Amino acid sequence: MTVRVRFAPSPTGYLHVGGARTALYNWLFARSEGGTFLLRSDDTDAERSTPEYAADILDGLRWLGLDWDEGIEVGGPHAPYRQSQRLERYREVASELVAAGRAYWSLADPEALERWRKEARDQGRAPAYDGSLEPPPEEVERRLAAGERATVRFRVPRPGRTEFSDVVRGDMSFEHTQVEDFVILRSNGTPTYHLASTVDDVDFGITHVIRGEDLLSSTPKHILITRAMGAEPPTYAHLSLLMGPDGKKLSKRHGDTAVAAFRAAGYLPEALVNYLALLGWSPGDEETIVSRDEMIRRFDLADVSRNPAIFDMDKLQWMNGVYIRAMTPDEFVDRIMPWIAEDLGREPTAEELRILHEIAPHVQERTKLLAEAADQVRFLLVDEVVYDERSWSKVMKGDAPRALDGAIAALSELDEWTIESIESALRGMLEREGLSARKGLQPIRVAVSGSTVSPPLFESLAALGRRRTLERIRRARDRLTA
RNA sequence: GGCCCCGUCGUCUAGCGGCCUAGGACGCUGGCCUCUCAAGCCAGUAGCGCCGGUUCGAAUCCGGUCGGGGCUACCA
């Protein structure tokens, strides 16, 4: 049997890292099994679904490199893949279930239902509605005929229980007294999640349902519907949830968890994928940096952890740095370009591009987030450097004037402007002035870059060019006197 | 309240009855390197929630307890 899995987001919110991880595990499983990864849209909640969210989800998946073989935008034998376009099918299944006695039109009074549930809870019973509040059949028939709107509820067989084996959690068993006669069709004729999702899984031939643990206790409902449709339930695998640093379910409270936000901050998709993959799955040995191919080769659903995982921004950031350092300098320049252009408000010139490529290796190893790179190279691209006042007051004192004067003298008479010649000129200056490298070079760094923190000095000056270097040192020297 | 899931360093995890003096990674601390910051290298820090039981032997199996989480909608 060929594996068929799906990722079925509801476009009622942007794609967040939790959803991305679920999609990733589905994708990894499909790829490792040579199966099909399907993307569908569970958009039965017309109120809350928006095209913007739908687009964000697709963008995010593509950016992460999680390509799908069937579904939205790519089509396939079961199109359409949007639930909003399959409403007729769900109504059809609902009426078949009613006809077969597996579901019924429900006219229970909402307030009475609420009281019933409260009472059950107060008495320590499960607040699972069992259909006992329904009017007699003749009355139901009459009111329905009179045009009254009703929901359709699934008739959960009681006594009874549903058992299944979850790939990551093991054997599960739910007493039906804990499962209520749940609504499958709303009174407005639209299906609930339980119906739509299950019908799609059956119709699309889904073999493995890999999803968040929040759906674990709904699984009996899905199995009940599946069997009532005369189908065999798929294999289920429920992934533990992602938590924030406080141990609570990851949400907006913990900052922006949107995949798009990570992208904008300068995270690399390969780093995010690597991090997410290891958040709940381990290849078994001591590897931390795992390539995509390696993941596919070694991924096994049975190795997925049952523990909830706290999303650790520090580790992700470290990993992003590892991936950034692994790039070639040219690739690095290419990838930081969007941030550079935004920072500059224009595209860099050919000369600026040359400078960027020259300094790239040195900036690269200091970058954890692509967005930071723009800050580090800004001094090479602007006409006038902006001094960081804290840096200025820290180093522009004591021997600073001598260092700056000495640097101007030493650099002015240089024949060639290379990293080596600059270094030997400045080291000679330090020697003559009797200054330590630390004391003598920091003022120059601030004069040229505006900050006590910058890429290596000699390399920076070489990239900046003689004219601009001298200009900046003189300007700083003047400011120091003034 | 009811049902369900989970419980190894601060965090992610390896561990599947003896190989565990519990391993790795991030973080943190110290050192080396060094023109700043990084990177790199070295060292250190820190954990089997608790109580019983099974066993010659338990982080590993069982029971209980405590703690955390999820679900409990005409949301998904």
What is the interface pTM, i.e. ipTM, of the complex? Answer: 0.95
**Residue spans of alpha helices (H) in A327-465:** 329-344, 350-364, 370-381, 389-395, 400-412, 419-433, 437-449, 457-464
pLDDT less than 50: residues of chain A: none
A303 CA to B18 C1', in Å?
24
| C-alpha span between A350 and A295 (Å, rounded) | 40
Nucleotide closest to A110 measured between CA and C1': B74
Query: Is residue A360 packed enough to be buried (19+ CB in 10 Å), middle (13-18) or exposed (0-12)?
Result: buried
How would you label A206-228 residue by residue, b for 16+ Cβ within 10 Å and e otherwise?
bbbbbbbeebbebbbbbbbbbeb
> Residue A130, Cβ neighbours under 10 Å: how many?
17
> Residue A306, Cβ neighbours under 10 Å: how many?
13
Name the 3-class secondary structure at A360.
helix
A237 CA to B52 C1', in Å?
34
A5 CA to B13 C1', in Å?
27
| C-alpha span between A33 and A297 (Å, rounded) | 9
- Residue A10 CB closer than 7 angstroms to strand B? yes
**Which amino acid makes up residue A302?**
A
A7 CA to B14 C1', in Å?
30
Q: Which entry of A248, A252, A394, A397 is annotated as an active-site residue? A: A252
Helix/strand/coil percentages in chain A, nearest 5: 55, 10, 35
Please say if A252 is a catalytic residue: yes
Q: Which long-range contacts (CB under 8 A, 24 or more apart) does A412-416 make?
A: A412/A470, A414/A466
> Residue A340, Cβ neighbours under 10 Å: how many?
21
**What pLDDT does A253 receive?**
73
**What pLDDT does A45 receive?**
84
User: What is the token pair recorded at A347?
Assistant: 């595209």
Beta-bridge partner residues of A211: A238
Residue closest to sugar C1' of B28 by CA:
A314
Residue in the block written with tokens 């290891």: A278
Q: Which bases on strand B have an atom closer than 7 Å to a protein beta carbon? A: 1-8, 10-15, 23-27, 34-40, 68-76
How would you label A81-91 residue by residue, b for 16+ Cβ within 10 Å and e otherwise?
bbbbebeeebb
- Residue A32 CB closer than 7 angstroms to strand B? no
- Residue A467 CB closer than 7 angstroms to strand B? no
User: What is the token pair recorded at A77?
Assistant: 């034998």
Residue closest to sugar C1' of B10 by CA:
A245
A337 CA to B42 C1', in Å?
37
**What pLDDT does A400 receive?**
95
- Residue A457 CB closer than 7 angstroms to strand B? yes
Angstrom CA distances, A233 to A56, A84, A267, A300, stand at 31, 23, 39, 21
A321 CA to B25 C1', in Å?
14
Extended strands (E) in A206-262: 208-212, 235-239, 242-243
- Residue A105 CB closer than 7 angstroms to strand B? no
Edge to edge, the sheet with strand A151-154 lists A103-106, A151-154, A183-185
Contact A469, A411 (CB under 8 A): yes
Angstrom CA distances, A179 to A125, A128, A199, stand at 12, 6, 19
pTM reported for the whole predicted model: 0.94
Name the 3-class secondary structure at A37.
strand
**What pLDDT does A286 receive?**
80
| C-alpha span between A366 and A376 (Å, rounded) | 9
**What pLDDT does A75 receive?**
94
Nucleotide closest to A42 measured between CA and C1': B76
Question: How many residues are given for chain A?
Answer: 482
Nucleotide closest to A279 measured between CA and C1': B12
Torsion angle in degrees (nearest 10) through CA of A109, A113, A114, A118: 150
Contact A456, A426 (CB under 8 A): no
| C-alpha span between A269 and A276 (Å, rounded) | 10
Contact A177, A159 (CB under 8 A): yes
User: What is the token pair recorded at A152?
Assistant: 């359709």
Count of alpha carbons within 13 angstroms of residue A386, beta-carbon side? 7
| C-alpha span between A282 and A319 (Å, rounded) | 16
- Residue A107 CB closer than 7 angstroms to strand B? no
- Residue A394 CB closer than 7 angstroms to strand B? no
Nucleotide closest to A243 measured between CA and C1': B69
- What single-letter DSSP state applies at residue A213? G
Nucleotide closest to A319 measured between CA and C1': B26
